[in-house]
Every structure is written in C-alpha cells, then in structure tokens.
Amino acid sequence: MIFALICGIVTLSLLFLDLFTKAWAYAALVETDYLFGIIRLAYLPGGNTGIAFGWFGESEWAMAVFIALTILMMGGIAALFFTVFRKNRPAQVCLAVIEAGAVGNLVDRVFLGYVRDFIDVQRLHFGICNPADFFITFGAAALMIVILFIGKDAVIPLGKWRREREEAEAEREAERLRQQEEAALSAAGTGEAPGPLTPREEGRDSADPSGDRRL
C-alpha cells in the first residue's frame, strides 16, 4: 500500500509538471530555436485535436473517440497496477508515469477541446507534442523492457533475476517430486511399518503352530 501511495505521488507530480508547462507555454506564446538541431519549443495555435505528436488531428471523430479510449486506458492501467503487476514495482512505476500522461491530455481534451502541444520534434518525424506524450511514450517503452527483461518473472530475465527464477523453478520441481512420492506411498499403503504384536497375539501364535491367526 505504501508503494502504491508513492506511485500516486509520482503520477500527481508529473501531472502537475505537464499542466504547468502547458499553461506557461500557451500564456507566453513561447517560440525558441532548435536545440541540437532536433527539438525546440513552439506554440501551436489552436492546439492539437488528435493524439500524440499531432496524429489524426484533422479527423472530426477523433476527439470523442480519444476521450473514450483514454478513460478506458486509465481504468486498464489501474487494474493492471493492482492485479497483474501488484508485485512488480518497476512495472508499477512505469504505469504511474503512463497514467500521468493519460490524465494530463484528458484534462485538456475535456476542458479545452484540444491538447496543448508546444514541443517541436518534427525534425525527428514526430510532429509537435507535450510532456504528457513523452510520459506515455517512454513509460510504455520502459514497461515493455521491464516485462521482457527485469525481474525473475520477466520473459527473458537478466543477471540475478535469471538465477532467482532458476532457483524458484528448482524449488517448485523439488516440491512437486516430494508430493508425487507421498502420493505414491499413500496409494500403495506402505507409508507405515507394521507395529509390534500384543502379548495376547503372541500367546495365540504359540498355541497355533501353523501360525494361522483366526478371529
């Protein structure tokens, strides 16, 4: 529960960063030169009515569809956080980052009718975007890396996680074999050795040389 609260703080902090920078960029009508020739701040008049990086911005149906999909995505992220990834902290952090981006753009779409984009990465062929788009994109990429390589439950665990997974599998195999042995002994009825004869039974055996016990 404590870690879930920490992830909630991460989400709220990134959400504040996203909304604050958007408000500042649109209030200042910011415009800068390219940094390293690939990225700059550029106010986008009218905002973006599409999705990340300006995709589908000309479609009339886009806004309603993306609002609905964003709400579904937020619910799915919360469900994954508390079910599939409830014991995977790196994955939970990634989900918290993605959630911040989803909520940030949802706030814009619901209250403004568009998303405030001001980070120009068109020279990288990604259009104009905002911090929320980066949270979603890099959070999703990091989540895929976690699922594939991080932790003993990863698809292809690396380093110590591979060893932990092998040890866990060896323990499970040993437990499975032990249970099979116990089941076999129980089925064969040889789980316990016969107990000693009582004095009465010993006397009856002596009186009957054939050793044939009768009730």
Helix (H) or strand (E) holding 148: helix 131-149
The residue from 133, 205, 208, 212 that is catalytic is 133
| Cβ(43)–Cβ(118) below 8 Å | yes
pLDDT value at position 210?
Answer: 52
What are the b/e assignments for 111-129, b being 16+ CB within 10 Å? Answer: eeeebbbbbbbbeeebbbb
Tokens of 38: 């690939």
Whether residue 117 lies in the annotated active site: yes
Integer Cα distance of 196 and 40 in angstroms: 92
Q: What pTM was estimated for this model as a whole?
A: 0.72
| Cβ(150)–Cβ(158) below 8 Å | yes
Going by C-alpha positions, the residue among 215, 28, 6, 35 that lies closest to residue 93 is: 6
pLDDT value at position 155?
Answer: 83
Integer Cα distance of 215 and 205 in angstroms: 12
Integer Cα distance of 91 and 143 in angstroms: 6
pLDDT value at position 26?
Answer: 87
Integer Cα distance of 165 and 170 in angstroms: 9
What is the mean pLDDT for each group of 10 consecutive residues in the chain (215 residues)? 93 97 87 79 75 56 81 94 93 96 93 88 80 94 94 80 77 85 78 53 52 47
pLDDT value at position 124?
Answer: 79
Give, in order, the Cα–Cα distances in Å from 73 to each of 69, 78, 80, 100, 164. Answer: 6, 9, 10, 12, 33
The residue from 18, 108, 117, 120 that is catalytic is 117
Helix (H) or strand (E) holding 13: helix 2-28
